[in-house]
Amino acid sequence: METGTAKGPEQGLRILLVEDVASNWKLLRRLLERHGLTSVDAEHGQIALDIYDSGPDSFDSILIDFEKPVLDGPSAVEELRRRGGDLVIVG
What's the one-letter identity of residue 66? F
Residues 6+ apart with CB under 8 A from 80: 48, 49, 52, 62, 89
Q: Render pLDDT for 42-77 as a digit per residue (tens, 0 to 9).
A: 988 899 999 998 887 889 999 988 877 788 888 989
d(C-alpha 7, C-alpha 89), whole Å: 23
Q: Render pLDDT for 4-51 as a digit per residue (tens, 0 to 9).
A: 344 445 567 899 999 988 899 899 999 999 999 999 999 888 999 999
Residues 6+ apart with CB under 8 A from 88: 60, 61, 62
What's the one-letter identity of residue 67? E
- Is 56 in contact with 16 (CB distance < 8 Å)? no
Query: What is the model's pTM?
Result: 0.79
